[in-house]
């Protein structure tokens, strides 16, 4: 083990993690909170305004990540940034994945575990941004129904819904079982499905680890590996067929 990895890397992991948490907490509370309050009081469309604020907050966060973490690069082609009016499905490797996608798409929604909607302040922000609970239960039923009724209009107006159909992070890089929710929404809204493949976010922020993994050469990649367009005239594909197509696209590209 080199001197750098043995002595410097542990210190770098701790220091850079703390610096990124300082940005996350204090810019959120001390700077971006003003924009959330302004959007709540004065915006004509609070949902879109909250999504945009989230987008710019996480763009700033990943700017700091790129600037601070030695040996880290991002490789995201323009065709990913240009996705609009689509249901985006993606593999899931790290807690960084959802906030990375928020940083890419200004107008976005996603599906969030129900427990996060119960958190003070954070749960309110999720609702204001129009994010969807993973399952409709209790007081979230009315909220879920309202936003599902408006989903087709939202997608048609240029918004994206991104979903990690595995529902949890992979520990070994292999795909887990897919939930049907995203595919049912795409079919119901007659929306295209864009299939993204994320690589190496787990190397930067591994599952079940608090500290970032720094001083390691790493390239985080997001690749558009396929697109499934809606069938406007035929019978359309079944949900199971859509799941099979997406799974094949991801598995074939994971082998590369």
- The low-confidence residues of the chain, meaning pLDDT below 70, are 1-6, 138, 232-236
Distance set, CA 136 to CA 108, 112, 161, 165 (Å): 20, 11, 17, 17
Domain boundaries, the chain: 3-254
- The token duo for 252 is 């074939």
pLDDT of residue 4: 54
Per-residue confidence (pLDDT) for residue 92, from 0 to 100 = 95
Closest C-alpha to 228, from 215, 244, 213? 244
- Express each pLDDT in 226-238 by its tens digit: 999 887 555 667 8
**pTM across the whole model:** 0.92
Burial of 27 (0-12, 13-18, 19+ CB in 10 A): middle
Considering the domain 3-254 in this protein, what is its CATH number? 3.40.1130
Q: pLDDT value at position 45?
A: 95
């Amino acid at each position: 083990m080199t001197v750098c990895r043995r002595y410097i890397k542990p210190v770098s992991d701790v220091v850079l993690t703390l610096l990124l948490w300082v940005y996350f907490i204090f810019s959120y509370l001390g700077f971006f909170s003003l924009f959330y309050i302004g959007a709540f009081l004065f915006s004509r469309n609070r949902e879109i305004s909250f999504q945009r604020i989230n987008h710019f907050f996480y763009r700033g966060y990943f700017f700091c990540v790129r600037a601070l973490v030695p040996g880290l690069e991002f490789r995201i082609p323009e065709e990913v940034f240009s996705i609009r009016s689509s249901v985006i499905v993606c593999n899931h490797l790290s807690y960084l994945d959802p906030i990375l996608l928020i940083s890419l798409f200004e107008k976005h929604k996603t599906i969030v575990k129900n427990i996060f909607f119960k958190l003070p302040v954070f749960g309110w922000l999720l609702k204001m941004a129009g994010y969807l609970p993973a399952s409709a239960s209790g007081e979230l039923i009315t909220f879920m129904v309202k936003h599902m009724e408006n989903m087709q209009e939202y997608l048609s107006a240029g918004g994206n819904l991104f979903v990690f159909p595995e529902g949890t992070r992979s520990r070994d890089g292999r795909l887990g079982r897919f939930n049907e929710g995203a595919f049912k929404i795409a079919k119901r809204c007659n929306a295209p499905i864009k299939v993204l493949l994320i690589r190496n976010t787990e190397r930067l922020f591994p599952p079940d680890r608090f500290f970032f993994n720094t001083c390691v050469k790493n390239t985080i990649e997001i690749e558009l590996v396929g697109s499934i367009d809606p069938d406007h005239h035929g019978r359309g594909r079944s949900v199971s067929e859509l799941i099979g197509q997406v799974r094949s696209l991801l598995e074939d590209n994971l082998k590369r």
